[in-house]
Chain A
Amino acid sequence: MNILKFITAGSVDDGKSTLIGRLLYDSNAVSHDILETLERQSRNKADGELDLSLLTDGLRAEREQGITIDVAYKYFSTTRRKFIIADAPGHVQYTRNMVTGASNADLAIILVDARQGVVEQTHRHSLVASLMGIPQIVLAVNKLDLLDYSEEHFYKIAAAYQELAEKLKLRNITFIPISALAGDNVVQPSANMPWYLGPTLLEHLETVEIEPEAASDAPRFQVQYVIRPKSNEWHDYRGYAGSLRSGSFRRGDRVLVLPAGIETEIVAIEVNQVQVEEAFAPQPLVLHLAHDIDISRGDTIARFDAQPIVSRDLEATLCWMNERPLRPGDRLLLRQHAATVKAIVKSIEYRIDVHTFEHLSDDKLELNDIGLVRLKTAQPLVFDAYKQNRHSGGFILVNENTYDTVAAGMLEEATELEPG
């Protein structure tokens, strides 16, 4: 059994909450006491039906405003998989929430209302899915019950979406016709849509292939913490603790410590205090190196024959998440896992229109804007292009004063090192 992390995206009223509620309810993930509460709350509502969308409604402020304003996590499992749902709300302003949810997702369910088909919001959601590199997409065409479960409508929407997906180079798209309210093709196959022969949504979620982190990627490892017991028993012990983010390491691998560029060798790998010959992502490890080198938190250890990029000049797609706009010349902290460096914004190359995908020239990025920027860092950063490696190509920007997280960044291939 493994884990599938997925995100749901849709415009307000497309039926996202109902869909998640349906998944949880029909897969028996909802317990008695929560059901009781649900029945009580549903009774307070006008129509009196069991309102499944209440299952995903979280905080009181939101209950009062009647909208979901933040990412909430939900869990359920079947005999085949454990599922983690990041429920990112569909409200127009909240690109940042979807980006947040998408950053950890293996799959995105993009929901459309069959009566409206592909709308502006669908463009935005698909753009985010593409930029964040979500490996699998499901286009769930909802509310087909309101259109007599029409095959024609479903295929028309699927065709329109296919066109959109090509523009964004989205791959691995699965189209599923559903009614979240009635339950068709969510967990149970639909008797109302005999023309649909594919899997139900849950079947698809249970069986879709997800790439293991270890696959074919180059090994990436950052030192999080140096273990030095300094006790009599472990007098000379010096281990570099961190997680292998991708790929694998073997004892004896020739490695570089970056950004310093010092060459050495892995003499021992420990997993849970046991020495192993080989370790794989996403295992947490302790590495021991041949030479006594000055290594600290944030340093990268990479195999000699699979080196990452080391540069102070960065080009990155940003999603800006703060009320105060980003402008050229702004100084921020860049945090890439255990590495933190100061950064300055050199230029904003363009902003992306999230509906047409056009590149617009602009001198700022506002809350929920997405755009390409150039940054210069005080010390070199060790990374890969995000498209190559989601683990070593992502970073956040942090405000130097408030320490708030103000942007998500996806690195592009390095640009030439310029003087200055």
Chain B
Amino acid sequence: MSTHFDYLDHLEAQAIHILREVAGQFERPALLFSGGKDSITLVHLALKAFRPGKLPFPLVHIDTGHNFPEVIRYRDELAARFGERLIVRHVEDTIRRQGLKDATGKFPSRNALQTYTLLEVIEEFEFDACIGGARRDEEKARAKERIFSVRDEFGQWDPKRQRPELWDIYNGSIRKGENVRVFPISNWTELDVWSYIQQENIALPEIYFSHRRNCVVTPAGQLLAITEHINLEPEDEIAVRDVRFRTVGDATCTAAVESPATTVDDIIQEILIAKISERGATRLDDRLSEAAMEDRKKNGYF
């Protein structure tokens, strides 16, 4: 009798259960696909939940225009390989349409601007639920977010108005104009995601693995990829390093880590040894303030 289940089996079972609840409870759900390992894991789980049927939701990518080309290629190949619908909307267009001020500075990050495009796409397609790959271990504000997180018409999250979430009963009932963000891998840690990717043999964009790259070294010692989007200055320290990325966000603010890891196994070994939590190591803008994430969430960020 195979009644023994590993912790990854439990995490997988919970995620599939949540994805099927989304399909059962909502009229027009969407899966927010960033091209990062967490949303790739979500797609993998969704295929397990709904095959041989089609996914009951499209994949939606909010393209900052600052993405790594490897990630865009991966995204398009993935949608084609599984024959699923991909919707791409560009922050660039939102900036133009709404007359917003583009990000400026040396490392102009469009992370905050993504919110506007997301709200636009929600309105355009009348999405009532958006599935995202956020995890509670990413930082403190997320630790309290529900798996079904209700947002008002402005996409805002009110920590005081969260619904209690009991057992694994998910209340997705909403009023007109509201929508729900759903986080099926809330209870996974970074290491869990990597272990699952290893177990399931999930392919990832190349930038997750060690490669040689021209980087600029920030005063704090972080390595940023040199792309057309950052504004180099003559005194900047440039270095050629063997690096990998731990997240694949906006290329202007996603720092690389020096690493020889070329396989998932190598990466897991590195994570087990190094205990620097993911967001702390790689997101410049989160360092600005401890309350940064909380503020962005309240404003409708993923």
Contact = CB atoms under 8 A, between A and B. Distances in A.
A59 B294 contact: yes
B166 A396 contact: yes
Interface string B131-148: 000001100110110000
Contact of A58 (B50, B54, B143, B187): B143
Interface stretch (B113-121, B171-179, B205-213, B244-252): B171-179
A20 B94 CA distance: 44
A129 interface: no
Interface string A59-95: 1110000000111111101000110100000000000
> Which bracket fits the contact residues of B?
35 or more
B171 A335 contact: yes
B275 A28 contact: yes
A225 B23 contact: yes
Given A31-B277, A58-B143, A74-B143, A2 B10 contact: yes
Contacts of B143: 58, 72-74
Contact of A403 (B17, B167, B174, B277): B174
A33 B281 contact: yes
A391 interface: yes
Interface string B41-63: 00000001111111010000000
A198 interface: no
Contacts of A278: 1
B277 A3 contact: no
B13 interface: yes
Given A243-B13, A273-B52, A321-B164, A59 B144 contact: yes
Nearest to A276: B2
B52 A237 contact: yes
Nearest to B277: A31
B52 A405 contact: no
B168 interface: yes
Interface in B11-49: 11, 13-14, 16-17, 20-21, 23-24, 48-49
A2 B164 CA distance: 26
A284 interface: yes
Contacts of B294: 59-60
A337 B6 CA distance: 24
A57 interface: yes
B7 A2 contact: yes
A28 B5 CA distance: 26
Which of B2, B9, B52: most chain A Cβ within 10 A? B52
Contact of B3 (A96, A212, A394, A403): A212
A234 B189 CA distance: 37
Interface in A220-279: 224-225, 227-229, 231, 233-234, 237, 241-243, 248, 272-273, 278
A126 interface: no
Interface string A205-225: 000000010100000000011
A100 B52 contact: no
A214 B20 contact: no
Interface in B222-248: none
B17 A398 contact: no
Given A1-B6, A61-B160, A71-B144, A297 B173 contact: no
A69 B158 CA distance: 13
A321 B6 CA distance: 35
> Which bracket fits the contact residues of A?
35 or more
Interface in A103-130: 103-104
B28 to A, nearest CB: 15
B17 A284 contact: yes
B7 A3 contact: yes
Interface string A389-408: 01100111010001111001
Interface in B178-200: 186-187, 189, 191-192
Contacts of B51: 273
Contact of A61 (B14, B159, B165, B171): B159
Contacts of A34: 277, 280
Nearest to A97: B164
B100 interface: no
Given A227-B53, A234-B52, A394 B144 contact: no
Nearest to A402: B175
B293 to A, nearest CB: 10
B159 A70 contact: yes
Contacts of B218: none
Contact of B175 (A60, A243, A403): A403
B159 A33 contact: no
A99 B192 CA distance: 27
Nearest to A408: B166
Contact of B141 (A30, A59, A280, A282): A59
A333 interface: yes
B153 interface: no
B76 interface: no
A81 B21 CA distance: 28
B102 interface: no
Contacts of A57: 140
Interface of A: 1-3, 28, 30-34, 37, 57-61, 69-75, 77, 81-82, 84, 96-97, 99-100, 103-104, 212, 214, 224-225, 227-229, 231, 233-234, 237, 241-243, 248, 272-273, 278, 280, 282-284, 297, 321, 333, 335-338, 390-391, 394-396, 398, 402-405, 408
Given A32-B280, A273-B48, A273-B51, 7 more contacts: A2-B10, A34-B280, A57-B140, A59-B141, A283-B9, A283-B13, A321-B164
Interface of B: 1-7, 9-11, 13-14, 16-17, 20-21, 23-24, 48-54, 56, 136-137, 140-141, 143-144, 159-160, 162-169, 171, 173-175, 186-187, 189, 191-192, 275-277, 280-281, 290-291, 294
11 contacts: A31-B277, A57-B140, A73-B186, A75-B189, A225-B23, A225-B24, A229-B52, A234-B52, A243-B20, A280-B2, A395-B169
Shortest beta-carbon contacts, A-B, top 5 = A33-B280, A403-B173, A31-B277, A224-B20, A284-B16
